[in-house]
Amino acid sequence: MERLKYLVIGILALTLAGCGQTIVETLNVPHAPGFDAPGKGRSVVILPFADYSNAGNFDSAYRRNMAITEALTDRFSANGFAMPVQEDVFQYLVDEGVINIVPYEETQSVSLVNELANDWSDTMKAEISRYLAGSNTTTGVNAANSPGTHALTTATVAKIGRSFKADYIVRGRILEYKSRQDPTWEPWKKGILPFINGGTSRIIFGFASSDLYDQWNQQITGAAYGARIGYEHSNWPWDNNDGGDTIFGMSDGDDANAILWGSIGSEVGKQAYRSGDVQQAVVQLRMWVQEATSGNVVWTNRVDVKVTPESFFADNQYDALFNKAIEKGVTTLVDNFVTTGL
């Protein structure tokens, strides 16, 4: 009784101590650049990146661009470069007719978006998503006015440089921005069961593009494992199986064990198919830096970043993966420009 008393008191103390909030605070530019920073005394203008990734609609394209621009702003600031406020640059480009604002409306598809939250099959949800993706893109739009096109003349680049008193103009394009399944077979990423069952299924049956066929592969492999376990179980020395056991009167002891364990293995294989997904964020960027006075390209490079959770305990949400991919890609590009382009 005394121990129970102390246990209750400990639980209450832990509950009271846990009242409050957990705060995670991050400064992307934690320290001001020093006097010898490579970009000290220089300024850049970051233009919106042309988006050729064909991923999503105008809303998602704007958010992708904003995430990349924010990462560029942080990295250039860390290297001592000065730059104007991004909203001022955007408004200037609109006023000068360099870019056009294209409205996006999804009100006609709200009912379909709501249907994705209902209990439809995976195939039906995939069809609804495919229809939404098609309805949220523009058709018949002039290529010169599309959000992925930002062709500028040398005179326009020089004019932007003069307007913001900049030394460099930073431009680029988004080549890839998508999620996919990481092809890794590392058990600490996929999980033990998907690693064992999925690896055997891939060796025996190869790769199939059909989800249903892949599920069958997993189930058959699991059933084979289970049947083998059942057969061995029936022959274990301590199993006094006289061969007279039946399942619904149809099988003897050996068959009964094989059928039972095979069924269990098939269900385990089905669950292994539905688990073990390892999400991977893929971001590929090209960046140019032009001299503001002449429009000459002084540096360009391309980066391809793939980010995967280190283990099944890590955060595998899309925003965390893509934010890390953008941060890594932009850091690599800007650092390479600072090292080789200045």
The mean pLDDT values, 10 residues at a time, for the chain of 342 residues are 76 67 76 86 94 74 90 95 94 88 56 67 73 56 51 91 96 91 66 57 51 50 52 49 44 51 55 64 96 94 93 77 94 96 83
Domain residues of the chain, as ranges?
39-102+138-183+286-340, 193-274
* CA dist., res. 253 & res. 230, Å (int): 10
Res 139: pLDDT: 45
Res 244: pLDDT: 45
Res 129: pLDDT: 73
Res 310: pLDDT: 82
Res 102: pLDDT: 66
pTM of the model: 0.66
Res 57: pLDDT: 64
Kindly indicate whether the domain formed by 39-102+138-183+286-340 is annotated with CATH number 3.40.50.10610: yes
